[in-house]
Structure 1
Amino acid sequence: MAAAGGEPSTLKVSDELFQNFYTEVKQIEKRDSVLTSKQQIDRLLRPGSSYFNLNPFEVLQIDPDATEDELKKRFRALSILVHPDKNQDDQDRAQKAFEAVDKAYKLLLDQEQKKRILDVIHAGKEYIEHMVKEKKKQLKKDGKSQDVEEDDPEVFKQAVHKQTMKLFAELEIKRKEREAKEMHERKRAREEEIEAAEKAKRDREWQKNFEETRDGRVDSWRTFQAKGKTKEKKNRSFLKPPKVKMEQRE
């Protein structure tokens, strides 16, 4: 009887474990609806991914409140899914997807970068909370119901998600503009540096040529002066007045 009585208990535990496992899987599927290698690669390389992938938590599909252990586990699972070795028929795209996952993971390992990213996410949430508050305030002023669509947790979550993406995009655009400006300034400084170097080179060559031809110029000048004096002497001989003959008186 004991054995017979024990069997239902064992089955009960197994059912509970299975139910917990099933619930966990369904939660993962709901959060991650993308589970296959191909789908993950498509997700990470979808149009607009250069902006979608700015949020490392979005890339890794993990909650910002996740622990480091959860972050590591998620990285391992996702990196295996998109690794080029696992996707021999689509290695180039898999490599790009893997690089996106690897970059996101490294960003979140850097505590300073992670804080900056969390600040953006919190700013997005605060903005939506402020907008909801203002919306309710206006409805109250108008004497209307203060129920808004953002009262639905899922709608609120989506609004925060969109706002967060917008903030990340704006920061990236500013970063690129700043980078382009700095590149332009570096290019201009380099051009000025090259121009200055070329001018200095021309000046050195001119000075060298001037020094090398100095003796020749001096000799030419002396020759010119000597010829001038000779010519002057010749000219003077022509200018001598004729001798006056004395008249003879008878």
Structure 2
Amino acid sequence: MTRYRALTNVLLRYDLRDWATLIFTFLFPAGLLVALVLTMGDSIEGMDLTGPISANVMAFGAAFVGIFAGATHLALWRENGMFVVLRSFPISSNTVIAAQATAGMIFLITQALALFGIAMVLGMTPEATAPIALLPLILGFLLFFMLGVLVGIILPSMAGVSMAAVAIIIPLGMIGGAMMPIETLPSWAQTAAPYTPIYHMREAVTMPLIGEGTWGDVGIGLGYLVAVTAILTLMAQRAMKWK
């Protein structure tokens, strides 16, 4: 078994035994989806918002999984001394990042399938192109994963990392339109929204999932996610090597 596979298996086993990870990966986004659909799904007369709400929650859930997958293991390793142990093994920083990303992506795909199933039960009508929506979810996950790696390297404690991750993801979710329509936000937030990653995740997910929007929006969203992810990946790799 390669070092990459061994480390991935260790991380998966840890996450499957961690109740906080399971709750925030599966129960929290599922509860958010149900709550938003029940309270806002028919808020506009003659229009069913179940589909757009489902796309928004899927994007937000992917970002949530990403930032915590990137940050929490590093913070935990710093607290329990695992960083020192890893330095004594012939394992590269890229292998560590890849194993973390793989473990997190397995949770992401499982979460996306679960949310898709719940959305179908709640009344969402998916398009035949719905499987394509997985691409922006994966790219968004990787973007926030790399951001999480940077947070995990910079901050010295698990508590600090958790607080910082929440402080990053909740405002970005609000401004990006994942929790409420952008039209209802203050003017400054509406201006800032197109510059946020969750906004572009939503745009790139909505069209293939439920057929709302344009494929041009999908292309712009994917381009944004690829570019920002590439920048954050370079920063995370250098920070890991330095650490």
TM-score, length basis structure 2: 0.32
Larger radius of gyration: 1
RCO (CA 8 Å, sep 6+): is it higher in 1 or 2? 2
